[in-house]
Amino acid sequence: MAARSELVGIAEVAEMAKVSKQAVSNWRLRYDDFPKPLQQLQSGPVWNREAVEAWVKVFKGEETHILSFINLKGGVGKTTTAVAVAEMLAQEERKHVLLIDLDPQTNATVTLISEEQWAEMDKDGRTVAQLFEDRLNPHTASKFDIEKAIAHRVSRINDGIARLDLLPSSIRLIEMQDRIPMIAMAGNFTASPLDILRNALLPIMDRYDYIIIDCPPSLGTVTKNGLRISTGYIIPTIPDIVSTWGIYQIVDNVARFARDIGRPIPSLGIVATKVQSNNLHRRVIADLQDGRLGRFSEGNDVTQPALFANTIPQAVDVARGADVDADIRTFKGKYGAAYSALHGLTREIRQLCEKKKS
């Protein structure tokens, strides 16, 4: 895939970054993470445009941080954590945030908007399902309009959080999932089926400081559409054997995918969720803290992502708070005993994302 990306030379990099060619040369010398050239031509080095653009945005502090919440295991708190982090980044950290629900189960969607609002948006094709459906039916007129598909000021907290937007999902995505990988072959599209979400979001991405993506429990084409635009990913897991089983697979797969698209997709870390005070949870958390979870400790070259310092306790209020129709308008009411850990996690994520180059 990298071969198809647009290539840029040093003069174009300088122009894109609005600096001199000398400044670009200095960056190359000074920063180890400056993208490596794809080739050394006679005229000079050439880079993957997207990789350099992403680096320059980070350097200038203008990056939209796009974070996918992933685990192959269901029910481990992906949605709960993604929604809480999105709400807290918007309300408490005053960031502009878009939450994208890529899961046909629509859990994040119905936590943030009422079922009536969702039904209306779904009827009008204002969900990610419509975006994929348009590509599955290339001969009918496109219905999806990104501006109309975004719900503003979502969540029951404070009767709606000013800077929090939602791109909803739809159960209609279930029946499409198997056909999506075939899109490029079925239609007249030259674009890859992995670029569908990216192409739709490109015009609006810059409006947001953070885009949080709630993924389904798989690494299929829909999740890969999320990873395609992600600047990082987070793995929520219950600290037990079955929930942590697939983590090695995720890290390995995402690294391969990142190599295919020609830029890194780092893991920000693993979040322990639904933590209870029992010996199993304590032992798995200790392994995660030491970076020696299961297959990661077997001497292969895949490194275990670090465990976030804040672990999220199992809290009775959380399940009740997920109901958008419940009359819960405060973070403490919605997240109960898990509130302060979720807030601490949000701050950790923000610090990792906004660490400036020096």
Give the residues lining the site for ligand ATP (CB under 6 A): 74-80, 103, 105, 107, 217, 273-274, 312, 314-315, 318-319, 322, 338
- Among residues 13, 17, 63, 78, which is the contact residue for Mg ion, using CB under 5 A? 78
**What tokens does 221 get?**
């084409």
What are residue 271's DSSP bridge partners? 236
Candidate segments 42-50, 77-85, 266-274, 310-318, binder of Mg ion by CB under 5 A: 77-85
Packed helices 10-17 and 49-59: angle between N→C axes, nearest 10 degrees: 40
Take residue 33 and report the two structure tokens written for it.
């993470």
By a kind-dependent CB cut-off of 5 to 8 A, residue 75 interacts, out of Mg ion, ligand ATP, none, with ligand ATP
Residue 80 interaction partner, one of ligand ATP, Mg ion, none, beta carbon < 5-8 Å per kind: ligand ATP
Give the Cα separation of 105 and 253 in Å (integer): 23
Closest CB 177 distance from Mg ion, rounded Å: 15
Q: Sketch the per residue contact string, 97 through 116, with Mg ion: x for CB under 5 A, - otherwise.
A: ----------x---------
Alpha helical stretches, state H, 4-126: 10-17, 21-30, 49-59, 78-91, 107-112, 115-123
Please report how close the Cβ of residue 272 comes to ligand ATP at its closest, in angstroms. Answer: 10
| Cβ-based nearer residue to ligand ATP, 93 or 103 | 103
Identify which of residues 47 and 69 has a Cβ nearer to ligand ATP in the complex: 69
What is the token pair recorded at 298?
A: 């077997």
Query: Is residue 79 close enough to count as binding Mg ion by CB under 5 A?
Result: yes
Which residue lies nearer to ligand ATP by CB, 56 or 154? 154
Report the C-alpha gap between 286 and 44 in whole angstroms. 49
Minimum distance from residue 218 beta carbon to Mg ion (Å): 11
C-beta of 105 vs 158, nearer to ligand ATP: 105
Minimum distance from CB of 158 to ligand ATP (Å)?
Answer: 21
Mutual orientation of helices 10-17 and 21-30 as an angle, nearest 10°?
100
- Candidates 90, 134, 114, 80; CA nearest to 317 is 80
Instruction: Kindly state the smallest distance separating residue 70's Cβ from ligand ATP, in Å.
Output: 10
**Shortest CA distance to 193 belongs to which of 1, 51, 54?**
1
Work out how close the CB of 29 gets to ligand ATP at its nearest, in angstroms, rounded to a whole number. 44
Other beta carbons less than 10 A from residue 120's beta carbon:
12
210 CB-near residues (< 8 Å, 6+ apart): 64, 65, 66, 67, 86, 89, 95, 96, 97, 98, 353
Q: Smaller CB distance to ligand ATP: residue 158 or 314? A: 314
Structure-token pair, residue 68: 């996918």
Binding site for Mg ion (CB under 5 A): 78-79, 107
